[in-house]
Amino acid sequence: MATGDIMPFENANASKMPGSLKYAVASGTTASIKAGEPVQKLAGTAYATLASNNFPTATLRAVGVAASASNETSTADGTVDVYPATNGQIYIITPKVAATWNTQAKYNALVGSRVLIDLTTGTFTLLAADGAGNGCIVEYLDMSRYLGKVAFSFSPLVDYRNV
Protein backbone atom coordinates (compact mmCIF):
# COMPACT_ATOMS: atom_id res chain seq x y z
CA MET A 1 0.00 0.00 0.00
CA ALA A 2 1.03 3.63 -0.26
CA THR A 3 1.90 6.06 2.49
CA GLY A 4 0.17 9.43 2.30
CA ASP A 5 -2.70 8.65 -0.09
CA ILE A 6 -4.99 10.78 2.09
CA MET A 7 -3.88 13.92 3.91
CA PRO A 8 -5.70 16.23 6.33
CA PHE A 9 -6.65 19.49 4.62
CA GLU A 10 -6.52 22.79 6.43
CA ASN A 11 -7.25 26.27 5.19
CA ALA A 12 -7.70 29.68 6.75
CA ASN A 13 -11.27 28.86 7.79
CA ALA A 14 -10.51 25.48 9.35
CA SER A 15 -10.39 24.86 13.04
CA LYS A 16 -7.61 22.85 14.65
CA MET A 17 -7.46 19.21 13.66
CA PRO A 18 -8.30 16.75 16.43
CA GLY A 19 -5.59 14.55 17.86
CA SER A 20 -5.24 10.93 16.88
CA LEU A 21 -6.67 7.98 18.77
CA LYS A 22 -5.03 4.58 19.22
CA TYR A 23 -6.74 1.44 17.85
CA ALA A 24 -5.80 -2.21 18.17
CA VAL A 25 -4.70 -4.10 15.03
CA ALA A 26 -4.87 -7.91 15.03
CA SER A 27 -1.79 -10.08 14.52
CA GLY A 28 -1.40 -12.12 11.37
CA THR A 29 0.00 -9.38 9.14
CA THR A 30 3.02 -7.13 9.48
CA ALA A 31 2.52 -3.35 9.48
CA SER A 32 -0.61 -3.61 7.34
CA ILE A 33 -1.62 0.06 7.67
CA LYS A 34 0.54 3.01 6.61
CA ALA A 35 0.14 6.66 7.58
CA GLY A 36 -2.32 8.40 5.27
CA GLU A 37 -4.40 5.31 4.54
CA PRO A 38 -8.07 4.95 5.48
CA VAL A 39 -8.94 2.70 8.40
CA GLN A 40 -12.15 0.73 8.96
CA LYS A 41 -13.65 -1.11 11.90
CA LEU A 42 -16.78 -3.14 12.23
CA ALA A 43 -18.98 -2.03 15.11
CA GLY A 44 -18.68 -4.38 18.05
CA THR A 45 -15.25 -5.70 17.06
CA ALA A 46 -11.98 -5.04 18.83
CA TYR A 47 -9.69 -4.48 15.84
CA ALA A 48 -9.25 -1.80 13.20
CA THR A 49 -8.14 -2.84 9.71
CA LEU A 50 -6.94 -1.24 6.50
CA ALA A 51 -9.92 -0.03 4.50
CA SER A 52 -11.00 -2.20 1.62
CA ASN A 53 -12.02 -1.21 -1.90
CA ASN A 54 -15.21 0.86 -2.33
CA PHE A 55 -15.10 2.27 1.19
CA PRO A 56 -16.87 3.61 3.34
CA THR A 57 -20.44 2.31 3.34
CA ALA A 58 -23.02 1.33 5.93
CA THR A 59 -21.22 -2.02 6.35
CA LEU A 60 -17.60 -0.93 5.72
CA ARG A 61 -17.54 1.76 8.39
CA ALA A 62 -14.93 4.50 8.78
CA VAL A 63 -12.59 4.95 11.73
CA GLY A 64 -10.62 7.69 9.97
CA VAL A 65 -7.18 8.15 8.41
CA ALA A 66 -4.03 6.58 9.86
CA ALA A 67 -1.67 9.07 11.49
CA SER A 68 1.03 6.42 11.91
CA ALA A 69 1.97 3.05 10.56
CA SER A 70 0.53 0.07 12.40
CA ASN A 71 2.99 -2.11 14.31
CA GLU A 72 1.35 -5.55 14.45
CA THR A 73 3.40 -8.62 13.55
CA SER A 74 2.50 -12.07 12.34
CA THR A 75 2.39 -13.26 15.96
CA ALA A 76 1.53 -10.19 18.07
CA ASP A 77 -1.29 -7.68 18.06
CA GLY A 78 -0.29 -4.06 17.50
CA THR A 79 -1.78 -0.60 17.34
CA VAL A 80 -2.26 2.25 14.89
CA ASP A 81 -2.85 5.94 15.57
CA VAL A 82 -5.84 7.26 13.60
CA TYR A 83 -7.21 10.74 12.95
CA PRO A 84 -10.89 10.04 13.68
CA ALA A 85 -13.59 10.52 11.05
CA THR A 86 -14.74 13.60 12.94
CA ASN A 87 -17.63 15.63 11.59
CA GLY A 88 -16.22 18.71 9.83
CA GLN A 89 -12.67 17.43 9.23
CA ILE A 90 -11.72 17.69 5.55
CA TYR A 91 -9.13 15.54 3.78
CA ILE A 92 -7.55 15.68 0.32
CA ILE A 93 -6.99 12.75 -2.01
CA THR A 94 -6.15 12.11 -5.66
CA PRO A 95 -9.13 11.30 -7.90
CA LYS A 96 -9.35 7.90 -9.62
CA VAL A 97 -9.96 9.55 -13.03
CA ALA A 98 -8.25 12.95 -13.21
CA ALA A 99 -10.22 14.07 -16.29
CA THR A 100 -13.46 13.89 -14.28
CA TRP A 101 -12.21 16.65 -11.97
CA ASN A 102 -9.78 18.68 -14.14
CA THR A 103 -11.67 21.99 -14.35
CA GLN A 104 -13.32 24.09 -11.69
CA ALA A 105 -16.70 23.70 -13.42
CA LYS A 106 -16.43 19.88 -13.46
CA TYR A 107 -15.27 19.88 -9.84
CA ASN A 108 -18.07 22.21 -8.71
CA ALA A 109 -20.66 19.95 -10.33
CA LEU A 110 -19.49 17.12 -8.04
CA VAL A 111 -19.44 19.10 -4.76
CA GLY A 112 -21.86 17.46 -2.34
CA SER A 113 -21.73 14.10 -4.11
CA ARG A 114 -21.63 11.01 -1.91
CA VAL A 115 -18.73 8.95 -3.25
CA LEU A 116 -16.43 6.04 -2.35
CA ILE A 117 -12.70 5.54 -1.92
CA ASP A 118 -11.22 3.12 -4.44
CA LEU A 119 -8.27 0.80 -3.81
CA THR A 120 -6.48 -0.27 -6.98
CA THR A 121 -2.91 -1.61 -7.14
CA GLY A 122 -2.16 -0.43 -3.63
CA THR A 123 -3.28 3.18 -4.07
CA PHE A 124 -6.35 4.83 -2.56
CA THR A 125 -8.16 7.31 -4.85
CA LEU A 126 -11.62 8.89 -4.93
CA LEU A 127 -14.41 7.81 -7.27
CA ALA A 128 -16.99 10.23 -8.72
CA ALA A 129 -20.27 8.28 -8.79
CA ASP A 130 -22.86 9.56 -6.33
CA GLY A 131 -24.75 6.97 -4.29
CA ALA A 132 -27.06 7.15 -1.28
CA GLY A 133 -25.01 4.63 0.73
CA ASN A 134 -21.61 6.11 -0.09
CA GLY A 135 -19.70 7.59 2.83
CA CYS A 136 -17.43 10.35 1.49
CA ILE A 137 -18.84 13.79 0.73
CA VAL A 138 -17.06 15.91 -1.89
CA GLU A 139 -16.20 19.35 -0.47
CA TYR A 140 -15.32 22.56 -2.37
CA LEU A 141 -11.68 23.05 -3.40
CA ASP A 142 -9.99 25.78 -5.44
CA MET A 143 -8.60 23.87 -8.44
CA SER A 144 -6.11 26.63 -9.26
CA ARG A 145 -4.39 25.94 -5.94
CA TYR A 146 -4.90 22.17 -5.64
CA LEU A 147 -4.93 20.81 -9.18
CA GLY A 148 -5.19 17.03 -9.23
CA LYS A 149 -6.71 16.76 -5.74
CA VAL A 150 -10.21 16.37 -4.33
CA ALA A 151 -11.38 17.53 -0.90
CA PHE A 152 -13.78 15.30 1.02
CA SER A 153 -15.19 14.62 4.45
CA PHE A 154 -16.54 11.43 5.97
CA SER A 155 -20.30 11.28 6.41
CA PRO A 156 -21.32 10.74 10.04
CA LEU A 157 -23.64 8.01 8.76
CA VAL A 158 -20.66 5.69 8.09
CA ASP A 159 -18.77 6.31 11.34
CA TYR A 160 -18.22 2.92 13.02
CA ARG A 161 -19.54 4.43 16.28
CA ASN A 162 -22.86 5.31 14.63
CA VAL A 163 -24.70 2.00 14.99
Q: Mean of the per-residue pLDDT values for the chain?
A: 91
Which residues is 82 bridged to in the sheet?
A: 21, 66
pLDDT for 90 equals 93
In tens, the pLDDT along 3-15 reads 789 998 865 455 5
pLDDT for 123 equals 95
Residues 13 and 34: their CA atoms lie apart, in Å, by 28
In tens, the pLDDT along 11-34 reads 545 556 668 999 999 999 999 999
Which range, of 35-49, 61-75, 108-122, averages the lowest pLDDT? 35-49
Percentage of the residues of the chain whose pLDDT score is greater than 90: 78
Cβ pair 128, 110 in contact under 8 A? yes
In tens, the pLDDT along 38-55 reads 999 987 889 999 999 999
Assess whether pLDDT exceeds 80 at residue 115: yes
pLDDT for 12 equals 42
**Alpha carbon 53 to its chain's center:** 11
Which residues is 27 bridged to in the sheet?
A: none
Residues 125 and 95: their CA atoms lie apart, in Å, by 5
